[in-house]
Amino acid sequence: MLGNKCEKCQAEFFPPVNICRACKSIDLKPLEMPGAGKILSYTLQKESVAGFEEQEPMVFGLVELSNGVRLVAQIVDFPYESLKIGSKVKAVFRRVKADGPSGQIYYGYKFGPPRSPRETSATEE
Amino acid sequence: MPSILILRDNQYDPQYRNMRDVFVLGAGTTKYGKSHLSARELALEASKKALVESGIEPTDVQAGFIANAFSLSEKQGHLGPIIMSGLGIADVPASTIESACSSGASAIREAWVNIGAGIYDCMLVTGVEKVSQLDTITATTYFSFGSDYIFEGACGASFPGLYGSIARAHMSKYGTTEEQMANVSVKNHENGMLNPNAHFHKKITVDDVMNSIVVASPLKLYDACPFSDGAASAVLCSEGFMLKMNGHASEAIKIVASGRAGGTGALHQRPDLTTLNAAVLAGREAFKQAGLAPKDIDFLEVHDCFTIAELVALEDLGFYPRGEAAKATQEGQTRINGETPVNPSGGLKAKGHPVGATGVGQVVEVYEQLNSRAGHRQVKDARIALTHNVGATGGSCAVHIFEKN
């Protein structure tokens, strides 16, 4: 997740902006966003948009990253019943939705629990 | 670190110097619902009704705006000349105004600006939408194009999902309950029963809402407005033009304020999920222009695309303090015979939501109500009314206030 940072006032953005939203400076440099965040709000969505049919019902949430940047992302590997406003989440790299008509695979970010089940079992082993 | 979710503190205060008064001379609507007619046929039907109501000929129209969001789903763009040609006035300039679900009120606003500025004396504003040819997933996807698609829709978020997130945030912050939200739907369905042009004529109970299928938790099917086809049209004119209209002038209503503001296209870029800043700003501007306050408004038509949206609207516009619109609704204050009647037409929930037509349809309801022609849903002694039309999750909002002399 490549965003950017204002060199003048240090504000951070994702997606990257051309003009700093806080101080209006045009002096910005690319910055990788932190993967850790928390849930601000969330929903269990039964009807999604095209390309997500096979993942319904899907959970997505409004996530606030540890640097204050906010985004919308699908929440995965997190039992819906245990999800709360304030739950800690972490970015994971995933196949986002159904492949395109000529076979292109859409990859992107989703958010999961701070420690994915795979990581947990690897540590336990 | 400075706030990156900043709201502009230097909001431009429009001056509207030397603006002329603008009036709604006449307005008409098709029935909302599933229609076999195309967008152009619906638009022509509503336009003709508005012209007849106004007592004018198509040739009296000097310019037009078409409010529409999804005509490309019918493989037709450039609706202006299509509709003006259909009215036999192909030489009249008309373009489409698109601002998602607030296209209708935005078009009314732009016509108000044009007439107020003295450029035209008589304009036709027609809002239209035709989406019933699309299956649900395609329609939902088209609607999501009105959000910040790359960062919301492309992550899978639909409008029910985004409003579901608003609802959950509101419940968490103010203790709003799902039953309280259901009351909005029950009330609007009750009003829709009295509106012959409404999409739904079905009385429902709080239990019906609570037991309907979950669309995007905590919102259920009966918390959501339908996809509707339909068109609505209004003739706007200057005072000079109105006075030449003899008998029809007595039914004209004055636009006493037009407020318009924007917000971030993406919901997640807002510092607070429980308010639409565009609605706060547009409402504030409208009340300032009119020199009125919420207590002066006899009834409102607000953008209840989801039940939570009506509660947020009432709080954004200052009719209730934050977190208190739900209780007021539960107590019946917003019913037709309540202290603050909201959506006597049935609102988007029951009257329906033909996207481009919705904001113009609100004006049709105001026109009928202020002329005491709303039948069984008539708000008693209605003289001043407010409309609130929102685009997407608040990227756009237009608020108008109307008065009958």
Q: For position B5, what pLDDT does the model report?
A: 61
Q: In total, how many domains does chain B have?
A: 1
Q: For position A125, what pLDDT does the model report?
A: 35
Taking residues A4-33, report their average pLDDT: 95
CA distance A120 to chain B (A): 26
DSSP B249-310: GGG-EEEEEEEEEE--SSGGGSS-TT--HHHHHHHHHHHHHHT--GGG-SEEE---SBHHHH
Whether residue A10 and residue B2 make contact (CB cut-off 8 A), yes or no, is yes
Tens digits of per-residue pLDDT, A39-89?
Answer: 999 999 998 888 999 998 999 999 999 999 999 999 999 999 999 999 999
Q: Identify the residue whose tokens are 């109105």.
A: B242
Q: Among partner residues A52, A68, A108, which is closest to B4 by beta-carbon distance?
A: A68
Residue of B nearest to A55 (CA): B156
Q: For position B207, what pLDDT does the model report?
A: 98
Catalytic residues of B: 101, 353
CA distance A123 to chain B (A): 31
> Within a domain: residue B337?
no
B107 touches A: beta carbon within 8 Å: no
Examine the pLDDT at A6 and tell me if it is beyond 80: yes
Amino acid found at B93? P
Taking residues B60-79, report their average pLDDT: 95
Q: What percent of chain A has pLDDT over 70?
A: 92
Q: For position B267, what pLDDT does the model report?
A: 94
Amino acid found at B265? G
Taking residues B280-295, report their average pLDDT: 96
Q: How confident is the model at residue B10 (pLDDT cuts 50, 70, 90)?
A: low
Q: Among partner residues A10, A51, A74, which is closest to B1 by beta-carbon distance?
A: A10
Order of strands, sheet of A28-32, starting from the edge strand that comes earlier in the sequence: A12-13, A2-6, A28-32
Tens digits of per-residue pLDDT, B198-246?
Answer: 999 999 999 999 999 999 999 999 999 999 999 999 999 999 999 998 7
Looking up residue B37, the CATH number of its domain turns out to be 3.40.47.10
Q: For position B249, what pLDDT does the model report?
A: 84
A7 touches B: beta carbon within 8 Å: no
Examine the pLDDT at B86 and tell me if it is beyond 80: yes
Examine the pLDDT at B400 and tell me if it is beyond 90: yes
B273 touches A: beta carbon within 8 Å: yes
Whether residue A72 and residue B267 make contact (CB cut-off 8 A), yes or no, is yes
B264 touches A: beta carbon within 8 Å: no
How high does pLDDT run on average in chain B?
Answer: 95
Tell me which residues of chain B, numbers 205 to 224, contact chain A at a CB-CB cutoff of 8 Å.
213-219
Taking residues B168-186, report their average pLDDT: 98
Q: For position B14, what pLDDT does the model report?
A: 78
Question: Domains of chain A: which residue ranges?
Answer: 2-32, 36-122
B9 touches A: beta carbon within 8 Å: no
Tens digits of per-residue pLDDT, B97-156?
Answer: 999 999 999 999 999 999 999 999 999 999 999 999 999 999 999 999 999 999 999 899
Q: Which helix (H) or strand (E) holds A39?
A: strand A36-45
Is 0.90 surpassed by the pTM of this model? yes
Q: Quote the CA–CA distance of A62 and B154 in Å, as a whole number.
A: 14
Tell me which residues of chain B, numbers 124 to 183, contact chain A at a CB-CB cutoff of 8 Å.
136-138, 140-141, 144, 150-158, 160-162, 164-166, 168-169, 172
Q: Among partner residues A23, A42, A68, which is closest to B165 by beta-carbon distance?
A: A42
Which structural domain range is residue B71 located in?
A: 22-133+228-250
Q: How confident is the model at residue B303 (pLDDT cuts 50, 70, 90)?
A: very high
Q: Is A61 left (phi over 0), alpha (psi -120 to 50) or beta?
A: beta
Number of residues in chain B? 405
Q: For position A116, what pLDDT does the model report?
A: 57
Taking residues B28-44, report their average pLDDT: 97
Sort out which chain B residues have CB atoms less than 8 A from A79's CB and list them: none
Q: For position B11, what pLDDT does the model report?
A: 65
